[in-house]
Amino acid sequence: MTDKISGSLVHAGNLSHYISVMDGMEVHVITLGNKNEQFKNGNVNVHAVSKTWFLTPFLCPFVLWSIKHIVDKINPDVIHAMRGFPYATIAVFLRHKYPVLQTVFSLSQRELHFDKSPIWMLKRILVAIPSERYALPRIPYIIVQSQFMESLIREQTKSKINVIPEGIEYERLQQFQSHSPLNDPPDIFLAVSFRKLKGIDILIKAIPAVIRSVPNLKVHIAGSGEEEVRLKSLVKELGVENHVKFLGFISDEGEKYQWYNACKIVVVPSRWDNEPYAPLDGAAMGKPAIVSDAAHSSVVIDRKTGFVFKSENVEELASKILKLLTDDKLREQMGKAIKERAKEYDWTKVAGRTVEVYKKVIVDFRR
């Protein structure tokens, strides 16, 4: 995904939809919006609270009260907080009245090291980090997307933790494999937000070593963000302008998956990540992935569905890229393996596993 919409929001939207179409399930989503309103999005009931009030510090308690009022009106069987402040904070306040759980996608304390924007750093220090430290020890059930995140969370809480990976619409995405092939297929494709923690510069630095053996190498990168100017300057500095193409932010889903379907491999060189979308998107198209050990992608099993390299190690990354691009048989074998593994990440299965956690939370609460 790119930075036009956060991964946690995409996850919340998909999970809400797939649970809402299950028999006997009624889903309500409470979120911040441009104005106070209530509407239907498919089978999902959406309740928006004006974020204008939220941006004004002395009105923040009113927003919390408004969300609590909506929750009490719905009277839910279970509350699932999908992000930190204010949602997890409200879940903590209501944990004695309703069964509650939270999905933790990342930790602000870790991401703080990669923030360049003073505003975002200030928000993390003043709001996000204190909110995490308050909520994590008090939320009785937590869902994380990787075993690595589980190990980090266990240092801060005694809550019951369930590992449920990110989801993809595996069956629906197969339609894009039948599309006409692109005229200029890349060797490597990646759609990602241009942030320091994504490590795109590490991939670019590996290119000079790769083109010595693969002189016609083509790397296409889609996305936008704060690192864009620096990344383009790095491409010029290394003299690899003929090998790297920046596609900009791709809003059309069909176009994005056409690129994944056309490429040979996906590379995710993150400095810090947790179950990133790119390896999963590529996996649905049968493309093996090379990921850093800091990406924590559960779909990539080293030497089976792709390769894992040490984060920041440009030489090792270049070696792994060369291995996959020059060994057609290995690349095909890993592509088939990762596509088969991707079936387990289909949203129907992820939603089903999440509902099973809901049942545990409800039973424990009633006890």
DSSP string of 310-329?
A: -TT-HHHHHHHHHHHHH-HH
**Inside any domain, residue 73:** yes
Average pLDDT over residues 303-330: 98
Q: Are residues 328 and 181 in the same domain?
A: yes
Q: Are residues 155 and 58 in the same domain?
A: yes
> In whole angstroms, how large is the CA radius of gyration of the chain?
21
Q: Residue 217: its pLDDT value, please?
A: 98
pTM of the entire structure?
A: 0.90
Average pLDDT over residues 54-61: 58
Q: Are residues 204 and 335 in the same domain?
A: yes
Split at pLDDT 50, 70, 90, the class of 208 is: very high
Q: Residue 1: its pLDDT value, please?
A: 29
Q: 180: which DSSP letter?
A: P
Reference 81, options 69, 63, 66, 99; nearest CA is: 99
**Inside any domain, residue 2:** no
Q: Residue 2: its pLDDT value, please?
A: 32
Amino acid at 358: Y
Average pLDDT over residues 172-198: 88
**Inside any domain, residue 314:** yes
Split at pLDDT 50, 70, 90, the class of 180 is: low
In this predicted model, which residue has the larger pLDDT, 113 or 67? Answer: 67
Q: Are residues 214 and 324 in the same domain?
A: yes
Q: Are residues 338 and 201 in the same domain?
A: yes
**Inside any domain, residue 130:** yes
Average pLDDT over residues 304-313: 98
* Domain count within the chain: 2
How confident is the model over 137-174, as pLDDT tens digits? 999 999 999 999 999 999 889 999 999 999 999 999 99
Q: Are residues 177 and 141 in the same domain?
A: no
Q: Are residues 200 and 338 in the same domain?
A: yes
**Inside any domain, residue 1:** no
Taking CA atoms, 217 is separated from 20, 209, 292, in Å, by 45, 11, 21
Q: Are residues 90 and 225 in the same domain?
A: no
Average pLDDT over residues 46-62: 71
In this predicted model, which residue has the larger pLDDT, 130 or 200? Answer: 200
**Inside any domain, residue 353:** yes
Q: Are residues 360 and 340 in the same domain?
A: no
CATH number at residue 315: 3.40.50.2000
Instruction: Give the Cα separation of 179 and 339 in Å (integer).
Output: 18
CB 84 within 8 A of CB 135: yes
**Inside any domain, residue 322:** yes
Residues of the domain holding 191: 170-345
Split at pLDDT 50, 70, 90, the class of 64 is: confident
Average pLDDT over residues 329-352: 97
Q: Are residues 232 and 321 in the same domain?
A: yes
Torsion angle of the four alpha carbons 75, 78, 84, 86, in this order, in degrees rounded to the nearest 10: 10
Amino acid at 363: V
Amino acid at 31: T
**Inside any domain, residue 256:** yes
Is omega for the bond preceding 288 within 30 degrees of 0, making it cis?
Answer: no
Q: Are residues 129 and 188 in the same domain?
A: no
Percent of the chain having pLDDT more than 90? 78
Instruction: Give the Cα separation of 167 and 164 in Å (integer).
Output: 9
Tell me: pLDDT of 82 over 80: yes
SS3 of residue 139 by DSSP: coil
Split at pLDDT 50, 70, 90, the class of 3 is: very low
Split at pLDDT 50, 70, 90, the class of 301 is: very high
Q: Are residues 42 and 162 in the same domain?
A: yes
